[in-house]
């Protein structure tokens, strides 16, 4: 059975577009997630194309494993920033933050409300979001609030980081989803990690990956001498601290 590195080596023509490392599915043996940065060429065609992705997927599956491509569209990231600015400008009194998740052209808007949203406010936000998203090529399918979802807590993030460190945002995202958590968007997760880093719970390496801080390792329960596996790992990575 192929491991993460072996799958990565089989990506061939799409290798330049791969975002981070291949992630194995902890719940399904032989199943992997591959994060791909997609863009648009001068003819507005997706690069790499779905045709190319499908061919690579088939070539890898010949080796007895299954891959799912998670497409990270630069257009979505731009749309999320624009949507956030638009909504907060009009509804900053009610909304703390806004996130966007998309599948092809379908979009779901996530609202981090300062308090319970009245139905009239939510409807007004939805109308504003619909107008904006239509303009940038997306169809609004739903407006949700983060308060009612199974969002990953700090503890959940810390446990996965401890088990998988050093861990990229893409890997952490996949691991959290494997465990049934809702991750509104990559930007939401990045902000959560930044908050944890400022609180001294995690360390961001120069590679952009994350490990637990020494304080978190001790708080989560481990041997406190230098021979502890957790502390040895942190010391070995300390040179890459960012």
Residue 114 sits in the same domain as residue 137:
yes
Residue 54 sits in the same domain as residue 106:
no
DSSP 8-state secondary structure symbol assigned to residue 28? S
Q: Do strands 139-145 and 106-113 pair parallel, antiparallel, or not at all (unpaired)?
A: parallel
150 phi and psi angles, rounded to 5 deg:
-85, 70
Residue 141 sits in the same domain as residue 169:
no
Domain interval for residue 229: 154-240
Q: Looking at 52, 73, 94, which one is the last position of a domain?
A: 73
Q: Do strands 210-212 and 139-145 pair parallel, antiparallel, or not at all (unpaired)?
A: unpaired
Residue 123 sits in the same domain as residue 60:
no
Residue 135 sits in the same domain as residue 200:
no
Residue 140 sits in the same domain as residue 178:
no
Residue 63 sits in the same domain as residue 91:
no
Q: Looking at 31, 54, 73, which one is the last position of a domain?
A: 73
Residue 167 sits in the same domain as residue 141:
no
The model scores a pTM over 0.85: no
Residue 108 sits in the same domain as residue 62:
no
Q: Looking at 51, 73, 95, which one is the last position of a domain?
A: 73
Instruction: Give the number of domains in the chain.
Output: 3
Cβ atoms < 10 Å from Cβ of 111 = 25
Q: Do 161 and 210 meet the contact criterion of CB atoms below 8 Å apart?
A: yes
Burial 115-137 (b: 16+ CB within 10 A, else e): eebeeebbebbeebbbebbeeee
Residue 115 sits in the same domain as residue 160:
no
Secondary structure E strands in 62-162: 66-73, 95-103, 106-113, 139-145
Q: How many angstroms separate the CA atoms of 236 and 238, rounded?
A: 6
pLDDT tens over the chain, length 242 residues = 677 788 888 887 787 778 777 877 766 788 887 878 877 787 767 788 888 888 888 888 888 888 887 666 667 778 888 889 888 888 888 998 998 888 778 888 989 888 777 878 889 999 889 988 888 889 999 888 887 668 888 889 998 998 888 899 989 999 998 888 988 888 889 989 998 999 999 999 988 899 999 888 888 765 555 445 455 555 555 544 44
Residue 173 sits in the same domain as residue 197:
yes
Geometric angle at alpha carbon 161, from 158 and 165, rounded to 5°: 150
Q: How many angstroms separate the CA atoms of 4 and 22, rounded?
A: 6
CATH number of the domain where residue 57 is located: 3.30.1340
Residue 138 sits in the same domain as residue 160:
no
Q: 3-class SS at 170? A: helix
CATH number of the domain where residue 86 is located: 3.30.300.30
Q: Do 202 and 158 meet the contact criterion of CB atoms below 8 Å apart?
A: yes
């Amino acid at each position: 059975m192929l491991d993460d590195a072996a799958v990565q080596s089989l990506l061939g023509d799409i290798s330049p577009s791969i975002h981070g490392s291949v992630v194995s599915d902890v719940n399904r043996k032989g199943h992997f997630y591959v994060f791909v940065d997609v863009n648009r060429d001068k003819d507005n065609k997706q690069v790499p194309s779905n045709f190319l992705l499908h061919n690579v997927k088939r070539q890898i599956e010949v080796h007895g494993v299954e891959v799912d491509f998670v497409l990270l569209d630069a257009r979505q990231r731009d749309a999320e920033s624009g949507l956030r600015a638009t909504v907060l400008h009009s509804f900053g009194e009610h909304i703390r933050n806004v996130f966007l998740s998309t599948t092809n052209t379908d979009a779901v808007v996530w609202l981090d409300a300062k308090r319970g949203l009245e139905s009239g406010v939510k409807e007004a936000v939805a109308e504003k979001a619909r107008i904006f998203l239509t303009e940038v090529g997306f169809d609004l399918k739903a407006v949700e609030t983060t308060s009612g979802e199974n969002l990953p807590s700090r503890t959940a993030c810390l446990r996965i980081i401890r088990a998988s460190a050093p861990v990229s945002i893409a890997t952490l995202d996949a691991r959290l989803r494997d465990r049934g958590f809702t991750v509104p968007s990559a930007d939401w997760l990045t902000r959560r990690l930044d908050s944890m880093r400022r609180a001294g719970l995690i360390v961001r390496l120069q590679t952009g990956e994350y490990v637990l801080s020494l304080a978190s390792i001790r708080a989560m329960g481990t041997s406190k001498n230098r021979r502890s596996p957790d502390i040895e790992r942190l010391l070995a990575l300390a040179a890459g601290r960012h």
